[in-house]
């Protein structure tokens, strides 16, 4: 009888307590509202250009502004998260990006709006690093791939909310009203404050450090130390390649669809279906990785996604077939991005984890901003469709090589051995 009872398999969701579910909800809402606030400006660039008498090229820099300061947010709020706790840094990140989004609706000139967008980037990067580490450290280790996939899926939901809000608000109340509702995430901080506990893993590590008399340094600067810089640099390449693989599709596919004679309504429907595929892909990736391992799940998913990548540019005249292909393409190629937070945090100790994750991710996101540039340059030579294909394929080869040859693990192990050897000779 005892043997029969011990063989009973407990479903994974029953392994989590109410507090851990609350942590997922809070972190997921942080990501969703982060994505919601981030994409709002992409819908109203032409409105802003008309009001401030700017070209679309100039207003496009307002999108890049939030990218430009993400590394700074990761450095400041990531270090706060490592030193003072994940919860406090997450609250400050959410407050900063929501208030800055609200202020964007009050902008009186291009430069004032540009300044507010810089603040948005700082807050978003800080919320990302703090909220993600809080969730991953709160869940059991064998379920953290699921946690990673769940939280990243919030970004896709934020994009869907942004498109819905645009259609409802801007035609009736103008572009400024869209930013005014961007203050809504500030109320999330009340939920974080009263319902989310601090990371148990961080709390234990901080208590142990105090017991040993170790001072809490600024984790951002520690990333440049002999111990952490090789690992940070290697993981930056992985993140950069990940963005380089997915963003040519994200940023240029609507333009490609226009070039093959799809109308705006069809393009909107197609991209909604593609985003829905990404949403489900984030969830699926977490379950797959908990079963076969994080790196293996990333490798196999990228390889399978390559089939759909080629198919997406082979089919042109059938909306239904192309929609199915786009769903599967983003289910695999974009969905795998849900595993990057888990993969990255595995390489960092608790005292530098939030900064390490934030810096590698947010510097890696530069590839997202560069993807339209690379794609545009190649388009003049080989055409838009082949340009998207080549850019995405190139970076998929890079990330596959990094993972197949286990480069981050090799670098981390070599650095550890070198540090131990130095300590032995000291």
Token representation of residue 9:
């398999």
**Does 149 lie in the same domain as 209?**
yes
- CB contact at 8 A, 142 and 10: no
How far does CA 102 lie from the centroid of its chain? 22
Q: Is 154 domain-assigned?
A: yes
**Does 303 lie in the same domain as 317?**
yes
Name the maximum alpha-carbon separation found in the chain. 79
**Does 225 lie in the same domain as 185?**
no
Instruction: Give percent helix, percent strand, percent coil of the chain, each to the nearest 5.
Output: 85, 0, 15
Token representation of residue 372:
């339209």
Nearest one of 224, 227, 226, 249 to 363, comparing CA atoms: 224
What string of DSSP letters covers 1-46?
-HHHHHTPPPPGGGGS-HHHHHHHHHHHHHHHHHHHHHHHHHHSHH
Domain end call among 217, 242, 260: 217
> pLDDT (tens digit, 0 to 9) for every residue of the chain, 426 residues total?
444 444 567 888 889 999 999 999 988 988 888 778 777 777 777 788 888 888 766 777 787 788 788 889 888 988 888 888 888 898 999 899 899 999 999 999 999 999 999 999 899 888 888 889 999 999 999 999 999 999 989 888 887 787 778 778 888 888 899 889 888 888 888 888 888 888 888 888 888 877 776 666 678 889 999 889 999 999 999 999 999 999 888 878 887 888 888 887 788 788 888 888 999 999 999 999 999 999 999 999 999 999 999 999 999 889 999 999 999 999 999 999 999 999 999 999 988 999 999 999 989 988 877 787 788 788 889 988 899 999 999 999 999 999 999 999 999 999 988 887 777 776
Token representation of residue 209:
């450090």
How far does CA 418 lie from the centroid of its chain? 32
How many domains are contained in the chain?
Answer: 2
d(CA 174, CA 161): 17
**Does 177 lie in the same domain as 50?**
yes
d(CA 391, CA 162): 27
End-to-end CA distance of the chain: 58
**Does 77 lie in the same domain as 136?**
yes
**401: Cβ contacts below 8 Å, ≥ 6 apart:** 407
Question: Three-state SS for 348?
Answer: coil
Query: The whole model's pTM is what?
Result: 0.87
Where in the sequence is the domain holding 264, given as residue range(s)?
218-420
Nearest one of 279, 268, 407 to 337, comparing CA atoms: 279
**Does 267 lie in the same domain as 156?**
no
Report the CATH number that the domain containing residue 51 is assigned in CATH. 1.20.1250.20
**Does 162 lie in the same domain as 244?**
no
Please classify residue 421 by burial: count the beta carbons closer than 10 Å to its beta carbon, then call 0-12 exposed, 13-18 middle and 19+ buried. Answer: exposed
d(CA 426, CA 421): 9
Nearest one of 343, 351, 337, 349 to 285, comparing CA atoms: 337
**Does 207 lie in the same domain as 224?**
no
**Does 172 lie in the same domain as 236?**
no
Domain end call among 217, 247, 279: 217
Angle at CA of residue 136, ends 135 and 142, nearest 5°: 130
Please report the sign of the dihedral spanned by the C-alpha atoms of residue 49, residue 54, residue 58, residue 64. Answer: negative
**Does 407 lie in the same domain as 390?**
yes
**Does 255 lie in the same domain as 367?**
yes
Q: What's 426's DSSP letter?
A: -
d(CA 332, CA 326): 10
């Amino acid at each position: 009888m005892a043997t029969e009872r011990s063989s009973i398999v407990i479903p994974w969701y029953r392994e989590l307590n109410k507090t851990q579910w609350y942590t997922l909800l809070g972190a997921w809402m942080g990501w969703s509202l982060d994505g919601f606030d981030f994409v709002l400006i992409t819908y109203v660039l032409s409105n802003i250009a008309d009001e401030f008498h700017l070209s679309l090229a100039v207003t496009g820099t307002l999108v890049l502004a939030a990218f430009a300061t993400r590394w700074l947010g990761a450095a400041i709020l990531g270090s706060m998260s490592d030193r003072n706790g994940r919860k406090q840094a997450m609250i400050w990140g959410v407050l900063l990006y929501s208030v800055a989004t609200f202020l964007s609706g009050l902008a009186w000139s291009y430069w004032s709006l540009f300044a507010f967008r810089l603040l948005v980037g700082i807050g978003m990067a800080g919320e990302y690093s703090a909220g993600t580490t809080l969730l991953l450290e709160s869940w059991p280790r064998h379920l953290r791939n699921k946690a990673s996939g769940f939280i990243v899926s919030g970004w896709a939901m934020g994009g869907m909310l942004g498109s819905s809000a645009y259609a409802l608000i801007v035609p009736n109340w103008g572009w400024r009203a869209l930013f005014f509702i961007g203050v809504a995430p500030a109320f999330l901080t009340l939920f974080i404050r009263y319902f989310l506990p601090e990371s148990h893993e961080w709390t234990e590590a901080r208590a142990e450090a105090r017991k040993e008399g170790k001072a809490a340094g600024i984790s951002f600067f520690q990333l440049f130390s002999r111990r952490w810089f090789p690992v940070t640099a290697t993981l930056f390449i992985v993140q950069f390649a990940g963005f380089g693989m997915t963003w040519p599709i994200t940023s240029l596919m609507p333009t490609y669809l226009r070039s093959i004679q799809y109308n705006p309504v069809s393009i909107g429907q197609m991209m909604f279906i593609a985003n829905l595929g990404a949403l489900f892909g984030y969830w699926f990736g977490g379950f797959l990785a908990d079963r076969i391992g994080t790196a293996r799940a990333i490798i196999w998913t990228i390889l399978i996604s390559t089939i759909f990548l080629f198919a997406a540019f082979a089919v042109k005249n059938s909306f239904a077939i192309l929609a199915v292909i786009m769903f599967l393409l983003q289910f695999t190629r974009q969905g795998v991005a849900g595993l990057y937070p888990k993969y990255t945090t595995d390489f960092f100790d608790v005292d530098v984890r939030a900064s390490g994750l934030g810096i590698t991710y947010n510097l890696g996101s530069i590839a997202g901003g560069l993807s339209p540039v690379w794609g545009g340059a190649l388009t003049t030579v080989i055409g838009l469709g082949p340009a998207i294909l080549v850019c995405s394929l190139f970076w998929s080869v890079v990330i596959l090589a990094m993972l197949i040859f286990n480069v981050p693990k090799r670098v981390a192990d070599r650095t550890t051995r070198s540090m131990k050897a130095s300590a032995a000779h000291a």
